[in-house]
Structure 1
């Protein structure tokens, strides 16, 4: 009996579609994000930028707060899989700042 491993049926096609989350972050249909905003080290700046984008957007379905928080969570959970611990802390703090700038607690 041969013990060869079965190759993945995905092949090369799968690698093209692998980074769908990166495409969503860069080309979101809901928000027009400031370039490289998630790379910022200032949580307040991230929150204010997300707030501006969410309030200016006419393509969102929920409230500006929901839209902004959703994009931030999406980035942390999906697009930011390879984030450093330092940047992850900054983004988690940005959630608190976002609540603050929208007057929520």
Structure 2
């Protein structure tokens, strides 16, 4: 029997966003940010602003993957945070 991971369930069935399949496995931070932005802006179930919802889901995934997340993918996902800030005009410029 496979152990059920609550974090996987949240990622797959979140009440906040409907995510594109495989969004966190993409190799382009800009594509990840764009996908999360689109999901957040089109969600009618989110409780926070689109930016906060998208950033929260990205941070949640990074934190829950923990040590099992390959360093290369972690760097891509961390870079996606910056891309997400830029996409929402939150980069301080």
Q: Provide the alpha-carbon RMSD of the alignment.
A: 1.3
- Are 1:93 and 2:79 an aligned pair? yes
Map Cα deviations across residues 23-45 of structure 1 (whole Å, 9 max, x no partner).
11111111000001000000000
Under a length normalisation based on structure 1, what TM-score does the superposition of the two structures give?
A: 0.81
**Bigger Rg, structure 1 or 2:** 1
TM-score normalised per structure 2: 0.92
Count of aligned pairs: 90
Which aligned runs of 4 or more in structure 1 are off by greater than 6 angstroms?
none
> Higher helix share goes to which structure?
2
Instruction: Give the unaligned 5+ runs of structure 2.
Output: none
Identify unmatched segments of 5+ residues in structure 1. Answer: 1-11
2:90 matched to 1:104?
Answer: yes
- CA displacement 1:56-89 (0-9 Å, x = unmatched): 00111110000000000000001x2211000000
